Amino acid sequence: MRVTVGVSGGIAAYKAAELVRALQRQDVEVHVVMTESACRFVQPLTFAALTGHRVITSLWNEIDAGSAAAGQSGIEHIDEAQWADVLVVAPATANILAKFAHGIADDFLSTMYLATNAPVLVAPAMNVNMWEHPATRANLEILRQRGVRVVEPGAGDLACGMVGAGRMAEPETIADAVLNALGRRHDLAGEIVLVTAAGTREALDPVRFLGNRSSGKMGYALADAAESRGAKVILISGPSALHPPAHCEVAKVTTADQMREAVLERMAEATLVIKAAAVADYRPVNFSGQKLKRSGPITLELAPTEDILAEVVRRRRPGQLIVGFAAETENSMENGRAKLLRKGVDAIVVNDVSAEGVGIDADVNAATFLTSTTAIELPEMPKRKLADRILDEILTLRRPRSLVVELDEETPQQKVLSESVSPASVQRQLIVE
């Protein structure tokens, strides 16, 4: 597999070296193309030493006689565009995104982008105000519509001293996205995955609502991961500022009742349902048609919302996998296992959201993938990477169960013990598929 890493001129350019290493660890051959501005942050020699290949920094690099003799065209941006199985740009500055979106080809990287038919990924990195500017948002939307995959930046302390979104995704996260684009994992082909994401809002008056802090990042990451692994994805989302994956079907809802209707309308066609949304548990009994005025303490009467997950389980069809989420602040394993048994789902992803910087509205998460017989710890990692790990565990539920048999010492007969046991208990036992 062959990947061209494009490096544009941002402070995150040094992280591109880590991306190169992460790809090489997966036996990917890497070439590097740098813009003139990128060379001011990192020397081309760094990438030449890592890759063993000459780094391309200009449209006007000379083609040697050996390349021509090897059958290359002598038009280097065309040769590189045809060589690469994937083009990934990390960091992708606001400038390079604008060039890509509007077909400006005034350097090697932007020219190669227009010349390649390979999948293209961009990992934006910039100041938070630049990231949120309408021009940048519009350019990203254009690129998404053209099939460019966007590896969303994280939020936190930025090099400029500001705090907010715009920090380039971690190299390992970008590498995972590249591997998915390469088709290394196309293990969800043929699956139809319904994912719910973000929180719901229950109106109190025309301007106020009961809700929660869910951003939808985990659900959107799951939708993106499933799509990149070959699944058809139906994303049912509460209010969120995130952009959904380019090719998934999206239904936008606001309330728990609307989410219920949308899920029940589409669930019959799904082979896998992942309920990652943070659905409000209660709604106000009385809705005020006018904004409530400040007049001292008030008492709200609340009624429970519909239990969507339980209804999905009741309506499931044979062979349909159903996975829920449980956000907990105490006794997470006990509460998660109780929910697993109470709801009757195939698995529960348990999140302890009490830790600072992890879980709700954060870019990283940690979880336990809980089934009736296993508890798989998934340590803290970026949500996009965690999404793939969750899908890995879900796929194990698709595998045929093994029969555990014990050899009788006096006769050659085999006796079936159970359908699943822990590895520690398999001593004189034989696993028979």
If we measure between CA atoms, which residue out of 14, 151, 25, 22 comes closest to residue 88? Answer: 151
- Cβ count near 260 (within 10 Å): 20
Token pair belonging to 371: 């089934």
Segment holding 429, helix H or strand E: strand 429-432
**For residues 224 and 388, is the Cβ–Cβ distance under 8 A?**
no
CA max distance for the chain? 85
Q: Is 65 left (phi over 0), alpha (psi -120 to 50) or beta?
A: alpha
If we measure between CA atoms, which residue out of 235, 155, 162, 156 comes closest to residue 193? Answer: 235
Q: Is 407 left (phi over 0), alpha (psi -120 to 50) or beta?
A: beta
**For residues 201 and 160, is the Cβ–Cβ distance under 8 A?**
no
- Cβ count near 209 (within 10 Å): 18
- Of 160, 364, 403, 421, the catalytic one is 160
Instruction: Give just the sign of the alpha carbon dihedral 285, 291, 294, 295.
Output: negative
**For residues 279 and 311, is the Cβ–Cβ distance under 8 A?**
no
Identity of residue 319: G
Identity of residue 237: S
Report the DSSP beta bridge partners of residue 251: 236
Count how many residues are written for the chain: 433
Q: Is 52 left (phi over 0), alpha (psi -120 to 50) or beta?
A: left
Alpha-carbon distance of 241 to 215, in angstroms, equals 8
To 10 degrees, the CA torsion angle through 182, 187, 191, 195?
-70
If we measure between CA atoms, which residue out of 255, 277, 395 comes closest to residue 326? Answer: 277
**For residues 290 and 206, is the Cβ–Cβ distance under 8 A?**
yes
160 in active site: yes
Token pair belonging to 80: 């590189």
Catalytic residue list: 160
